Structure formats: C-alpha cells, structure tokens
Structure 1
Amino acid sequence: MVMSKVDFQIGQVVDARNRLWRIERIITKKSEFEEDANINLLEVSSIDGVPSRCNLLLNIVKTSEGKEIVETIENIKEAKILKPDTSKLGNPDFQKVLIQAMRYDLIFGTSNFISLANSRVIPVSYQMVPVLMAMAQEKVRLLIADDVGLGKTIEAGLIIQELLGRRKINRVLFAVPANLREQWRSIMQRFFGIEAKILSSQTRRKLQKELLVGGDPWGYYNFLITSQDYLSRQEILERAIQFKFDMVVIDEAHNIAKPRYMMRSGGNKKSKRKNKMAVSLSKYPHLLLLTATPHNGYHESFASLIHLLNPELVDDKNDWAIDPENAKRFICQRRKADVMKWMEDDKKRKLFPTVHRIEEFIIPSVEFKEVIKCLDQYKDLVFKSAKEDGKGVRFIKFWGVLHIYRRLISSPQALLKTIYNKIRDSNEKTDTSGKKIKLREEEIQDILEKVRSNVTDTNTDENLEEYEIDRKNDSEFGSEKLGPDLIKKLSELETLTKKCLGRKKDPKFNYFYNNTLQQLLNFNKKIIIFTRYIDTADYICLELTKIVQKKSLMKGFEIIGVVGTDPIHVREEKYRKFLGLEKGIMVATDCMSEGIDLQYSSNIVVNYELTWNPNRLEQRNGRVDRFGQPEKDVYLRTLIIKESLELAILDLLYRKIKNIGGDMGYIPKYFGNMDLIGDILNDYFEEEEEFRFVKTKHGAKQLTLDNYGVFADEMKEMLSNHVDNNMNNIISEDSFYGQTVFDFSDVQERMDEMEKSIGNINGLLLFLQKSLPFFDCSIEPMKKSNFPPNAVFKITLSDTLLEIMNKDEITGNECIITTDPYFGAKQQDIETLSLKSPVLNSIISIVKEKGFITTHDFYGRTAAASSDLISELTAVLYYKIRYLVSTKEQSIMEELLPIGLKIYEDKPLLKREKTEKLWTQYTSGKTSDYPGIANQVKQNIKDLFDRSDFDSVIKNAIKSNLCVVVDNSRNLMKNLQAKNLVDLEDLKGMDDISIISYDPISVTLFYPGGY
C-alpha cells in the first residue's frame, strides 16, 4: 500500500495559483490511471477571489522497484494573511459589503442551521426536526418516514446542505426509483443549487466522454442520481462501490426492505437484489432512507430498514426484535395530524389546506350492464377451461380475468384495446393441438407474482413501463390458443362495448362531464385527472378535446395528456405548460403520481377509477394535498361505478380500513365520508355468515367477491395486504408516530440564531442592492398584475460580473429574482433568492477578490466613519476565526468576530454588544470628502497596529470568545443528552474546541460625532 506524504495541516493558509487559500480537508485517494499510486489533494476555500472553493493537486505518491516516489503537481507554499494595508483607505460602504460577503462564506458551527441560508426553500420548523436529529449524530443515519405531502425530499435536501456547509460530506449518491430520477435532479438543482448527474445505462457513455481517458463517472462526479434497479445489478454495484461516497440517499426505501420471503429460501430475485444493494450502500458513513410507507405489514421487513441504519438496534437472531428506545434517535415518523397539533401555536401561515374528499357513485347504463353480463359469461368460460390446469396456472388465468374487469371499469376504450390484443395474440399462435404449455413451477410463480402485482397496483418493477405492464396482462398466460368459444365471446364483448363509447353513451364519462367537472370548475379552472391506464387517458383527452371545440363552457381550455410512454423530458415540458395555463385539464397516469410536486399547478384531483392499492390513491391525492399548497382548500374526487366489481373491492377496503381505527387510533384518509360510503354499501350488500352478498331486484342473493370460487381467497389475501387487521396490529407495535422529542422552541431557537447570524431573505436582497452598483450592475423592482408587490426584481448584469458567472446559469445579461418563495416555486423562469443564487454567489466572490486588492478603488480592508455612540477615537476590527471540533470525526467551524478597541486607552476593549451596535449604526462617508483626513486616518491605524500590547489584546479577545463558543456547545450537549437523542459516544469531543487560526480582515476607525 502506497503511503501518502502530506506536509500541510487543516486550517493552514497557502499560496497557490497566485491566490490565497485556506485548507479545509486533506484528501488521499487511489489514482484512477496508475496502479499502486495515491493522489494527495488539498480541498481549499478562497480567501480573496473566484472560485470560492476548489481542489489543489498537491502530489502523486507511488512506488517503483520498492522505492517511494513523490511527484509534485502544483506549486503550493505556506502563507499568511497580513494586517490591512495602512497606506490605502477604502470606501466604508464597500467595506460593509465586504464583511457581509465574508459572513455569507463562513463555515458555521453547531449553533445554527446552515441549510436555511444555503437553500432556496423557506421551511417551517417541523421540517427542521430531521436536520436537528442529523446534527445530533456523528454519522447521520436516519429513516424519514413522514406522511405523504410533508416534504421528505426537502427535508433530505436540507440535511445534505447542512452537512455540505459543515464540510462533513463531499460526495452524495442518490438511489431512487427510475421515474423519480429527473424529479430529484430538478429539486436538488432548483432548491439547493446541487448539480447532480443522472447515471444510467443510457447516460453512462455520454458522461464518460466528458472525462479524461480511463475516467469513471462513479468516481468523478460528486453528486450522482441512479435508479435502484440499475444500481442493484451485480456488475454495476460492484463497479460503483469501488468508489467512496460520503452519503447515500435511498428514496421510496420500502422497495429495498428485506422481503419477508427472504427470511427463508426462494422469493423474487429482483427484490432480493435491491435489498442486497441497500446492504452494500449502508456501509458508507451517512445514510438517509425516505418513505411514507415504511411498513408493509411484516415486522421483519420493517426491522431490516432499521438494521441498515444501525445493526445494534435490531436483534436479527431473535425474531428481529427492535430496541425502540434507542431506535427513536434514528427515525422521524410523523402524520399530518401530529404536525398540525405540534404547530398549532404557529399562526404565521396555514401549513396544509382543508381537504374535501368525496366518492361519487355512478349508476351504470343498461348498455353497460350488458357488457358486465357478457364479461361474466367470458369469466365462466375461462374458469371452466382452467379446471384441467394446475393451481398456479389457474390463478394466473383468474388474475388475467380480473385485469379485464378493471379495464372495463376504467373505460370502454381500455376494454376494447384489451379485446383487440387478446384476439390478435391468439391468432398469432400456430399451435392448434390443444396441448397445455409446460412451465416450471418457478416460472409459474414468477408469472403469477407479476400479474397479481400488476392488477393490485403493487408492481415496483421500474424496468417495465405502464404500457408494458398492461400489455403483459392482456396476454393469455398459461394456454396456447384461445378456443372458438372464448373468441366468440370476446367478439360479442367487443360489439357491446362499442355501444358505450363517447360522451353521451359512456355512463362514467357522461356523469363526470355533467356533474363532477361542472362542480369542480366553480373552484378552479385547472384540474388534474388521474387514471390507471394509458388507453383511458387517451380516451378522456380525446373526448374532452371534442367538448372544448364545441362547448362554450370549456372555451379557452387546453387538454394535456401525460402518460408513461412520454419520455421524461416530454413529461416535464407538458407539466410546465400546464403550470403556466390559466384554464386547463391535465390527464395523467401514475407516472405523475409519485414523488412529483403538483401543488402549484392545481388544487383539484379526480381519480377516474378506484385504485385497488389505497397507498396509490393517497400518493395521487398527495400531489396537491401537501405542504406548500397555496390554496386554502383542496378538492379530491374518486369515481366509482355501482353494481360492479369495483363496489365489491370498495366494500373490502372499507371494512378493513374501519378496523384500523381500533388498532391504531386513527383512520387513514384514503376516502372521504366513511359513514356515507357505509350506507351506500349496505344498500347493495348484506351480511350472511362470513360473506357479503349483493341484493337483487328479485330478492335473490348473488355472491360477489366469493363468486370467484377458489380464486376468492387468493384475491382477498392479496388485496387485504394493504389493510389487514393483523398487519395493523404489527404496524401499531412497530410505529414511531407522533415523535415530538424536539419541541417547537428547540427548533425555532435555532432558526432565529441562523437569521441573526446570516440574515433572512430580505437581508440577501439588501446585500445585492448595496453591492451590485459597485460593479456597474442595476437592480430594480418589477411591477406586474400577477406579481406579488415588492417581491420581484430585475437584475441587469455588467460584463465584469458576466465574466465570472457560469454561462449555463443565465441567458443574456438579465435575470429575474424573487423574495417570495411560494411565487418562485410556481414560476419556472424566476429564481427565488438564496445563497445558492448564481448572481449572489458571483457578487460574493468578486467582492472578496476586489476588497483585498490594494490597487482597487474599492479596497475594503480599511475605512473611516463617524458615530455619535462614542466619545473617543475607536476602531472595530473584524477577525475570521477557525475552530477545530475534536469529535470522533473532526470538523471545522468559522466565525467572523468584531473586536472594538479604543486606540489610545490602556484598557481598550469594548463589550461585544457595543461593538456590534457601533458597526451597525455608523454614518458612512468617503474619506476623500474630508480634506486632510486621509493622512490622519492612516496614522491612527498605524498607531493601533504599533501598540506593544496589540497582539496580546487581540489574542485575549479571541480566547474569551472561545469560552462562549464552548459554553454554547455544552448547553447543546446537555439538551441532547436529556432528550436521549444522541449516542453518548457521539457527544464526546463536542465541547473540545480549539482555535486553528485567526486572520485579520478589516479595520474601521470611528471618530466621535464626525470628522
């Protein structure tokens, strides 16, 4: 093993590339291009210019013939920050800008939320709880299991920003479902300024072309997003884990939990693969698991997620027993009700909208009932033909029939497409011998699992697009060629179904248009419709488009369809278009129902059919019923056809969900008025022993769900997995709901401290307004009818600033910013102001650079001003102090400390409060406006620096401040320890803080009353 040779220390100032830098981390890594060689890098931050941070290539250490060879790459020399130059006086207004720029660029310590300033979101206190939990851990290991709509992605982004700001992480890997890759990339870039690359089989080659020969994207890019399915492939995983990542984020983490069947032999290979991938990724230092549904009803699977975070929390040798008291430090799990109760004292803004959920029951037409009757006859023929099949093949056929029922319930067009596919598939088969296909048992089980999960909306195979899932279910599994009786019945079904096409003939669409749509348009002119099937989405779009062309009521409306066959970028374009419409309807499949924030586009969701997975229903509704919804009310509708299998499924879900209230103390908000649903169901059903029967006009009782014979038990078991009584008991025992170990004041205090240190969003605006004119740039408010007042600004940039900006971040020489984050979230082309804003970053960098150059007109390290707060000549010096926190994994924090000194007094120090007040409230003016004062100021500054006790006075002031920093850390430790929120080992060294270095930044002379 080649040893690294590094002669520099963290905190040291070095001179390289004709600039001054401060060393933040020393990195040694294996060379990608030479075997048995290490590269030593210095991760540095700029003291005086652009860019603000980079890596300096120190040397390469390798062995040749048993000898160590050190090859120097860059010329890096030790340096130090000199005191301000007394021969040059600058503008006090520019000096204020310089000090503020330095403050924005600090590494903050444990007392503040860095993420608040480093992101473009304005969170409320409940969203900072996971950040506080992360700050309490030496290595961040968290399961964030908040309800849908509470903002788990934002919470994860805040944690990432917090750790980046503290220099605890550098490289992050995101393992997410394939359909969420673009969403994560967009959120990280838009809200947190993190440029993450998507790595997949399609993008890998393109990314490699951007690198040097032999370079590997897995090791080169600091932020990578990849799909769980892609990363779980053995050859890909083996390649990825060769490289070091500081943090791994796994979204929809229930997908990677250890499946119950993995506790024994057998089981789905793909699910096993994902779990093994997660186990490999859990070896990295920091791990975030995100899911709104962490528990699938099996204790072992849930426990496996906690085991990933910390194996000591779970006894996998003893029924996977969880240590709940210690586990709560690693789990943040809250319902909306918990958050609303916790935040009830926060009157500043309404966190969540009032939700109006209604299930609308549709009476089928005579023609539609004929279709159902014909489909029942087709089902009977399939069941009859399946008697000779083995149990597994029978179940495959039964689930295939259930798929056809679902297609009918969705729309006539969806059923017609299935009929066409079935007839075509049968005609393409040439085997007419009538022999049954011989499949191995594992093949049968694999097919059964797929068709079963497709029908129940529980398929998590991200390799299959929506149309592929539906197409596979249209195929006739387990048989060769359909018999003439089945073909004849399908042809009859086709004829009857065509009679139900169109707005007036289709009972569901007719009801939707004349009732649901008309009512919802009174609340908003923009509506989102979700449907399970692409064919139904196309059908709805076609019928609505016909209406828009003919009906004055819908004049000016635009109909936009978004389905799984659309490439990701097309989906984004369509959504952006919908976002900008004043009147429109977006018809979408579930490609838009998970992990995508739609709350700024609408407050209305219509579920065109009942999804058989209640969690899927909640995911859909949660796209608009979520934090950040600007409207006070959200309207949710679910359309259900009476006298159909859909009603039987609703009956099953209803009865199971009602039981949750007794087991868990609350009823999930899958549906609206549960009492009303119960009354409607009871009108159609009656109890007899353990079954439910439908009432007929003639008083006879027809078995509904159980009419499927042996298949009924199979179907009941699969559907009830979502809400099974026993499952609820298990979830209740394993739950960590209602966790409020941090109270409101804990979090709010930290948020207030951050605002005091950095300032709020209006402070960022003020900084831009004061600094931009120095570089021939302008900033002016924009007034438009749809703009919030005094919250939108146009910035015109000069060539000076454009030269240092990333050309990908701006078009032309103008940009528009807003200080209203809610307005910014709705406007894709308007940026919400934050420390991640390109313009702000650029102005901070150029202010730092110009402020340290003595030949520049804006030299900012010396200045003079007047004040009525003092009676004798006083100086305020700013020092940048860097501390080392000696926890197990050492960390750095910085502070900009003002020190007030009376230049000609024996006891010169001013109290901190008076110093800060003096600096804040002085009256500025250019020294050139006061003839003869410049030489006097220079002499006074020189006298200050020449004092024999100057260095000792400064040193003592900094040491005294260190005591305050240590006391703050100890108070934090006591608070965390009292709440049992952190491992005592992680607390060790938190109050062991030492001064690495301190650098003079500026000096300002204050003359009493005026010059």
Structure 2
Amino acid sequence: MNMPAANFSIGNLVRARGREWVVQPESKAEWLRLRPLGGADDEIIALIPELEFQPIEPATFPAPNPEKPGNHAAALLLRDALRLKLRAGGGPFRSFGNIAVEPRAYQLVPLLMALRLTTVRLLIADDVGIGKTIEAGLIVRELMDRGEINRLAVLCPPHLVDQWQSELAERFNLQAVALTSASAARIERDLPHGVSLFDHHHCVVVSLDYIKSERHREHFLTIAPECVIVDEAHTCASSGQGKQLRFELLQRLVADEERHLLLLTATPHSGDEAAFYNLLSLLNPKFAELQHKTSANDPLRQELARHFVQRRRKDIDEWHDTRGFPKRMTTEITYQLSGAWGQFFDDVQSYCRELAESVEAAGNGNARLIWYATLALLRCVASSPAAAAKALNTRLAGALDNENCLTDDRLYDGQADDLAGSDLEPPAQWQDVGRLQDLIAQAESLSGKSGDPKLAILIEHIKHLLEEGYHPVVFCRYIATAHYVAEQLRKQFPAVTVESVTGEYTPEERELRVQAMEEAEQRLLVATDCLSEGINLQHLFTAVIHYDLAWNPTRHEQREGRVDRFGQQAPQVRCSMLYGQDNPVDGFVLNVILRKAEAIKQELGVLVPMPEDETRINQALVKAALMRRGESSAAPQQFSLFDFEEAEEPLKPLQAQWHDALDKAKANRTVFAQRRIRPEEVMPEWEKQQTALGTEEDVRRFVQTACARLNAPLEVGKRNNYKLLPQHFPEILKQRLADEGIENPLLLNFTELHRSHPVVTLLAEHLLEEALLGEKPLAARCAATVTEAVDVVTTLYLLRLRHQLSYVRRRQPYQLMAEETVTLAVRGRTQPEWLIDEQTDNLLKCEPSGNLPTEVMQREIKQALDFIQSQASRVEALALQRAEALLADHRRVREAARDVGQYSVTPCLPVDIIAVYVLLPDAL
C-alpha cells in the first residue's frame, strides 16, 4: 500500500504522476488535494494515494541550472511573475491576493467588525457611493479564503442583479449565476441529476422578484447557503404585503444561528420606526427592544455597535485618505417659459382647467383621472416637446383604472425604498380631439434650440462643461425626452460621442451602450432613470445634469451617486439642476420638496426620504400645477410670482413627520456611530500586504515587459490606455486567454488593471511554467550582472516561503497555506552580510553596465548556489523568523478587530530557492 496522505502536511512538495505538486488545504488522511508546482488554482486535483500506480513521494524544489543563465531584465521578470501570481499571500488578510480592487482604509472597518463576530451579522448602512458592495465583497471573499464558508447568495432587487454578478466576478474573482424569473428554469434544467443549486453553483445572485412566490421562497429556504447578502435591505423591512413576505423570508433564514448575514442599505431609517427596528431584529431578535430604550449607555445599544456601521461622506474625512471622494459642485440653471413656449404652457394649463370644470359639472366620478391627466400633461410639457406630444397622442380613457390611476409609476419617481419605475410617457389624451390636435401641432413646432428655451439653456451649459473637460450625463424623466435631447445634442456637438440609454433596452444592452463610449475623446450620455441605479458611471463621467426635476429627492441622490462614488478619479464632480423659473410645478417641487430634503441632508449628512402619503402629495401637486403664471414684462425672479402656501397646506402633516424622522435619525447616529476601529489600526497591515503582493507599478512593468518578450508588445493608446494584442502570443497562452473570453484586442488601463486580472495571472503562470520546465525560458532563474549599483559582490536569492496557518474559530479547526516571496541579499563572500529589506528588493531593478562571458556567468552562479546550499540551517532560521513575523501580523490585526479564535504559523521546509542572481561591481 502506498504512503497515506496523513504523512504529508499542507504546503509540502510531493511527486505524483510524473510531476511535482504542492499539498493544498482540505487534504485528508485518505486523499490529497494537489496544485501543480507553478500551476494555477483551477488546475488543482484530488487523488487517493492508495489507488495510484506509482507511490506519492516527497519532493524537493529543483535548483536553478547554472547552464541556462539569463539577463537581468529576465530576472526581474521572474520576480514580478512570482509575486503577482501569489494568491494565498502571507499577510493576515487571506483574501487580498484574490481581489481586484484596492480598498480604502475605511472600507476595511466592516471586515474587521466581521472578524470579531462568531457568526457574522452586520448592517452596513454607509452613504450612497461610499462602497457598500466592496465592503460586503471583502467580507465574503475573506470568509471563503479562510475556508469558513463555501457558498454565497446575494438577494437584491431585479435591476441590481447584473451589477452584483459583474462586481463579484470583476472585483472578487467569484463567478456567480443570476437566478431570476427568466433564468431559473434554464439553470435548474442544466444541473446534474441529484445535485442542488448551491452544490453546483457556489455563488448565486437571486432576484427578490424571483422568490416572491411561496413555492420559490420555500425552495430557496431548503437550499440556502451559509452566507447571505441582502442589498437594499430596507425594501425587505417596510410595511406592505410583498415586503412583509421578504421580511418573513429573512427571519426564517436567520433562525439558523450559524448563518452569516450582511444587510446593506443607504437608508436604514427613512422615518419608518417599525421598519428600522425590524432590520435590527434580523441581526439579533433582542435588538427590537431598542425602540423603547433611550440611554446611549444601555448594554444592548453597546452590543448593537458591534453589528451596525453607518458612515457619511464627512465621516470618511477623519481617515485622511489622500484618495478621498471628489468635491461635489452644485449649481442651478434656469430658463423662462417665454414666447411660443410660454403660450403653449398656458394653453395646456387652460385645457386642464377646462377638463376639471367639465368633470366637476358632470359629476361622473372621474376626478381622479383628471388629477392624473393634469399631472401627466404638465409633467410631460415641462420635460420636452417630444414628451408632450407623446402624452397628448396617447388616449387616457380605458388605459387606466379610475381607482388606481394615481399609483401609476409612469407619473412618479418611485418611493424611498423602491425607486424602480417606468420611463414611458403617461397617457393624457381626453375628449375634444380637435383641441388636442392643435396642442400636438404646437408641441411639435417647438422642437429644437430656437423654439425650446429649456433645450437652449442646456446646450449652452454643456458647451461650458465640455470646454472645461467634463463628461456629462443628462438625466431625463421620459424616453421621448431622452431621444429628443440626444438627437439635438448630436446636431450641436458633432465632434462629441453622444449616446442615449433608456428603459427600452435590456440591462445588458444598456451596459454595452455605456461601455462602448470608453474610447471617445469627449462623451455625452443622455439617460432616463433606468441608469440611476444598477450601472456605475464613475469611470467614464464627471458631471450630472438633472434635465427634468425628480419629484423624489432620493432619485436625485441616486442620479448623482452613479457618478460621484467610490472609484471616481476626478477631483471635482459637477451637478446641475435645470428648471423653469416661472413653471409652477418646478417651483413647487423645488421649494417644497427638494430644497427641504437638501437642508435635512446638510444637517444630518445623509438623506432622510420624505414620508409617503400619495393622496396628500397628489393634492398638493395638482394645486401647484394649476397655478397661473403671472404677467410681467420684466424677467421675474424665480418663483417670486407664486404663492405656494395653498398648495403646501396638504403637506404640512408630512413636513412634521419628515422633521420628526430627522430628529430620530440624528439620535440614532449619535448612539450607533462606529468609532471603535481607527485608521492606524488598519492601514499598516494593508500597505505591507500590498507591497508583498505587488503594486500598480509592478503590474505595469510586468505586463509591458512580458508582452514585449513574447513578441506581442502593447500598443500605446489615448489617456493612459494600452492595447493588448493576444493574436501574437504563443498558441498555448492564446488558448488560455480565449478560455477567459480574451480573444480580440483588449484595452488596458494600468490605473485600473489589478494583479488578479486574467491577463496578469495568465502571463505570470505562463512565464513561471516556462522558467521551471522550458528549454529557453523568457524569465530567468539565474543570472550574473555587472552593475554600478553595488560596491561588493552581492548575491540575490529569490525565495518562496510556504507556511502552514492553523487557527480555531467557532470551536472549528482550520488549516490554510500561506505563501510569500522574499528577496535575500548576501553582500560579500569572505565575511558575508545577510540582508532582507526594501533596498534589497530594489537591487533587482538595478541597471546593468556591462556584459560577462557565458563561462564567467556560469561560474559565478554555481558558486552562489554552492554557498546557499551550505547555509541550509541559516535559511531555515530565516523561515522561522518570517513565520513568527506573520503570526505577529495576524495577532495585531486580530487585536484591532477583537477577533475570536487562536492562531499558529509553522514554516514548510525546506525553503524553495526560486532564483539566484549575482551582481558584480563595475569596478572589478
């Protein structure tokens, strides 16, 4: 019988099936998980030693061959490849080698909070655009890389499914499937017989719409994984039948005390006390009692601080992050309803009043429909001539139910906890078709810059923004308006790439249309609110224009938050609000709703949504819509001709509720502010691990050098972009890239290209495999170089250290493997001096100043190899020191996080000597 697997420890080298392997975590007495030496994680195999034809034997790492020396550039290339390929890095954060994002210091706070909880239950309520998705992704990736979870479900609104799927893949290397009403049948049909969804797909993004039905809900509960993220969690805690079912689902999920739960929301407290404490009860049922406890020193409130984190933009300033958020510059732009446009607006108002009077005289119960027609018409008229014509052309009677017409989402901008809506124009055509034809003709005649003062002021504003280098997004309420504005802007700015994106397109098509603008020198996007959630725009755009005022302040924040958010590189983001200064609807919405919301936001730091009361809001809006514009020969000051007191009267109870919600939110912030974890407790470990794994400069140098040596040099493009040409690579590398979907030329931006990108990973793997196995490797394992960088013979040894990391958490033992790359320098030969520091690493970047004959290079390399092999005990002592340093790093982070569990670190011996490089002083 062959040697049992129990004799091999994690990190050991073994020989099986004619090649060398590294023993991986989860190996057991009966079977081994093995990764090929120099291979990738997706090449890991499992085998049973007793069934192998040849015994599995211990192996040693082969020494560099002095007969195959390379040059110094090839030496640096190997070091970069080795470092950038590391995934199970040696630092205390296990996930950092597997993520494609550089988190900011404050984003590590939820991760440290999670590490101190036996079962992770967190409510992350950071402001819009701060990066809740990244914070949640860091936590689940860390739990996975520690071996504490294997499966994940993300529950989110349907419009966020695609965004979550792409974020998990692009930023965290987690390949998720999307489970929606449209895809569920296909996914389940493709499952192997007898295998459950989460056994086959470890990561699944689930649309909340999909699990609305009882059958789907019950099925999900039977297969739910050990970790669940809930995005827009406030939509699962409010009142209402659909939301109540969601809340019950979450209650049943957390009934399993071992299940990890991350709740994400930017609006945890939107004035609905019951909903807020429902959310808290999902973290711990006892937290519901906090509704009746007011003392900040209450032990239960202090316990909640371990589970709840909420930061505003200004809270982030205390972290002194030099890459802070851009400054948001806001402005208001006004226009007058003058000339033919003003006459058209007045004619539409007169038509609406006549309708109201005729319905009132008839007494036929159509008052609600007239309310609807009035709001629909005046909203579309204020939007654009195109939207007005569309509304006037669409018959109202029969299209809407009289009782429910005022809840039609074509008219409004969604509620605080559900911003999804339709960007189709509402119908507004009533009787008297002849009169309507005149209004339609008027609307159509006003199209274009000369007849549309709103469009004219937009064009002038965009001209200034483009001159200052901004890339604007223009948000419109309706599809017809978006197409009309885009068409007019193309005429005015022929040199600018102008695109329009509306709800007519699927989410995938919307994203493709946005991405297609990336190469444009100047770009201008016109979009409806289908883009105000779900697709991030910060990488391509730097300004937001509200062409149509939203009637919901939360919608305004969502629009601006698509551009002003984590990842925005511009120092400033411009946000402009455009409105008619003598339009009573604009005036009412701006003065009574938007400005009061902004005042509350300025006081608190986050938005508190306006309480919901459709009847009162509609009543107020209709009164405002029917106000007459005043007559004045001079240009009136904005809204000075309107007295909104009568229209505002129905909203006074809501305003009182709004301020009450503000007071409660302020009190909650005082109690729940997360101030236990400080920047200085987080950043040293992150920065140390970043250096060990490879910086942006390392990635740039490696990719450029690797491509050049593979005869496929990058093409230089515009704005820091480069073009990768995979068709010129060796066939085996081309095939591997094709497997990752990279077959055609690919644009690379090194400010965004992370070390875990498939291009970087596959280049590193290819060069390392060649270096270990190839006859003429491009990356050299040994070299001898003459340089002015040293004054005495200095030998650099590139070492790979493997450590076995053991820890106990939730009374469960875990064993992991950690790897690190270390450059050891030995100065001199008679009395050698051993050095390991940053300067040592930098010697690899030295400039050669002369060439050596091949036989001299071989002699120097052999002498260096003989020396290091005679110093085995010294090298082992170095490995023990590194293990102790790694343990100290883990303990330091553990103390900062108040982590639970016990750690130990043991080096795997012997140490791998990857490469030997001799530097000879130029004076010799």
* RMSD (Å) for aligned C-alpha atoms: 5.2
The question of 1:569 aligning with 2:531 is answered no
Which residue of the other structure, out of 755, 759, 762, is the alignment partner of 1:842?
762
- 1:355 deviates by 0.9
1:23-62 equivalences in 2 (<5 Å): 23-26=23-26, 44-49=34-39, 51-54=40-43, 56-57=45-46
Deviations 1:612-663 (A, max 9, x none): 210001111222333415363514123246353443343432674477379x
Give the equivalent residue in structure 2 for 1:730. Answer: 664
Which residue of the other structure, out of 759, 767, 779, is the alignment partner of 2:702?
767
1:205-244 equivalences in 2 (<5 Å): 205-207=185-187, 212=192, 217-243=197-223
Which residue of the other structure, out of 316, 321, 327, is the alignment partner of 1:339?
316
Amino acid of the structure 2 residue aligned with 1:101: A
The question of 1:351 aligning with 2:325 is answered yes
> Structure 1 residues 6, 927: CA separation in 2 closer, same or farther (over 3 Å shift)?
farther
Contact 1:383 1:398 in 2 (8 A): no
Which residue of the other structure, out of 581, 590, 609, is the alignment partner of 2:548?
609
Q: What is the distance in 2 between the residues matched to 1:417 and 1:47?
A: 66
Give the equivalent residue in structure 2 for 1:294. Answer: 268
Contact 2:501 2:510 in 1 (8 A): yes
Which residue of the other structure, out of 415, 419, 422, is the alignment partner of 1:458?
415
Give the equivalent residue in structure 2 for 1:801. Answer: 733
Which residue of the other structure, out of 800, 804, 809, is the alignment partner of 1:883?
804
> Structure 1 residues 75, 906: CA separation in 2 closer, same or farther (over 3 Å shift)?
farther
Where 2:58 maps in the other structure, the secondary structure is coil
Amino acid of the structure 2 residue aligned with 1:572: E
Amino acid of the structure 2 residue aligned with 1:288: L
1:276-287 equivalences in 2 (<5 Å): 276-280=248-252, 282=254, 285-287=259-261
- 1:368 deviates by 1.6
Contact 1:450 1:459 in 2 (8 A): no
- 1:296 deviates by 1.6
> Structure 1 residues 17, 416: CA separation in 2 closer, same or farther (over 3 Å shift)?
farther
Give the equivalent residue in structure 1 for 2:890. Answer: 969
Normalising by structure 2, we get a TM-score of 0.79
Moved more, 883-892 or 999-1008: 999-1008
Amino acid of the structure 1 residue aligned with 2:912: P
The question of 1:270 aligning with 2:201 is answered no
The question of 1:306 aligning with 2:275 is answered no
Where 1:202 maps in the other structure, the secondary structure is coil
Give the equivalent residue in structure 1 for 2:684. Answer: 749
Where 1:605 maps in the other structure, the secondary structure is strand
Deviations 1:244-266 (A, max 9, x none): 6454333222222x22x4xxxxx
1:833-872 equivalences in 2 (<5 Å): 834-853=754-773
Q: What is the distance in 1 between the residues matched to 2:541 and 2:575?
A: 10
Deviations 1:669-696 (A, max 9, x none): 999xxxxxxxxx9xx99xxxxxx99997
Deviations 1:404-455 (A, max 9, x none): 55445445654554555445527x99xxxxxxx9xxxxxx7xx589448963
Q: What is the distance in 1 between the residues matched to 2:598 and 2:863?
A: 83
Where 1:606 maps in the other structure, the secondary structure is strand
- 1:589 deviates by 1.6
Which residue of the other structure, out of 910, 913, 916, is the alignment partner of 2:834?
910
Q: What is the distance in 2 between the residues matched to 1:164 and 1:98?
A: 29
Give the equivalent residue in structure 1 for 2:464. Answer: 522
Q: What is the distance in 1 between the residues matched to 2:909 and 2:808?
A: 19
1:920-931 equivalences in 2 (<5 Å): 920=844, 929-931=853-855
Contact 1:928 1:934 in 2 (8 A): no
Structure 1 unpaired stretches of 5+: 29-39, 60-70, 262-267, 430-436, 438-443, 476-485, 672-680, 686-691, 822-831, 977-981
Give the equivalent residue in structure 1 for 2:347. Answer: 370
Q: What is the distance in 2 between the residues matched to 1:556 and 1:874?
A: 58
Give the equivalent residue in structure 2 for 1:639. Answer: 579
Contact 1:355 1:625 in 2 (8 A): no
Where 1:598 maps in the other structure, the secondary structure is coil
Where 1:532 maps in the other structure, the secondary structure is coil
Amino acid of the structure 1 residue aligned with 2:125: A
Q: What is the distance in 2 between the residues matched to 1:580 and 1:81?
A: 51
Contact 1:109 1:892 in 2 (8 A): no
Amino acid of the structure 2 residue aligned with 1:597: N
Moved more, 330-339 or 996-1005: 996-1005
Give the equivalent residue in structure 2 for 1:35. Answer: none
Give the equivalent residue in structure 2 for 1:84. Answer: 62
> Structure 1 residues 72, 900: CA separation in 2 closer, same or farther (over 3 Å shift)?
closer
Aligned residues: 879
Contact 1:865 1:1004 in 2 (8 A): no
1:332-731 equivalences in 2 (<5 Å): 332-340=309-317, 342-343=319-320, 346=322, 351-358=325-332, 360=334, 362-363=336-337, 365-379=342-356, 402-403=375-376, 405-411=378-384, 414=387, 417-418=390-391, 421-423=394-396, 425=398, 447=404, 450-451=407-408, 455=412, 457-458=414-415, 465-467=422-424, 488=431, 491=433, 494-495=436-437, 497-498=439-440, 500-502=442-444, 504=446, 510-524=452-466, 527-541=472-486, 544=488, 553-556=492-495, 560-581=499-520, 585-627=524-566, 628-630=568-570, 632-640=572-580, 642=582, 644-653=584-593, 656-657=596-597, 660=600, 664-665=603-604, 713=650, 724-731=658-665
Deviations 1:364-404 (A, max 9, x none): 72442232233234345556778979xxxx87986676555
- 1:799 deviates by 2.4
Give the equivalent residue in structure 1 for 2:742. Answer: 810
> Structure 1 residues 382, 288: CA separation in 2 closer, same or farther (over 3 Å shift)?
farther
Q: What is the distance in 2 between the residues matched to 1:296 and 1:245?
A: 30
- 1:844 deviates by 1.9
Moved more, 221-230 or 129-138: 129-138
- 1:803 deviates by 3.7
Contact 1:26 1:43 in 2 (8 A): yes
- 1:563 deviates by 1.8
The question of 1:248 aligning with 2:228 is answered yes
> Structure 1 residues 21, 395: CA separation in 2 closer, same or farther (over 3 Å shift)?
farther
Q: What is the distance in 1 between the residues matched to 2:496 and 2:598?
A: 40
Amino acid of the structure 1 residue aligned with 2:346: K
Q: What is the distance in 2 between the residues matched to 1:214 and 1:748?
A: 47
Contact 1:532 1:609 in 2 (8 A): yes
> Structure 1 residues 508, 293: CA separation in 2 closer, same or farther (over 3 Å shift)?
farther
Contact 1:853 1:859 in 2 (8 A): no
Where 1:931 maps in the other structure, the secondary structure is helix
Structure 2 unpaired stretches of 5+: 611-619, 633-640
Where 1:425 maps in the other structure, the secondary structure is coil
Amino acid of the structure 2 residue aligned with 1:335: R
> Structure 1 residues 139, 577: CA separation in 2 closer, same or farther (over 3 Å shift)?
same
Amino acid of the structure 2 residue aligned with 1:766: R
Normalising by structure 1, we get a TM-score of 0.73
Amino acid of the structure 2 residue aligned with 1:375: C
Contact 2:803 2:908 in 1 (8 A): yes
Q: What is the distance in 2 between the residues matched to 1:305 and 1:115?
A: 29
Q: What is the distance in 2 between the residues matched to 1:903 and 1:535?
A: 74
> Structure 1 residues 616, 891: CA separation in 2 closer, same or farther (over 3 Å shift)?
farther
Contact 2:348 2:439 in 1 (8 A): yes
> Structure 1 residues 167, 765: CA separation in 2 closer, same or farther (over 3 Å shift)?
farther
Q: What is the distance in 2 between the residues matched to 1:880 and 1:899?
A: 11
Q: What is the distance in 1 between the residues matched to 2:362 and 2:9?
A: 79
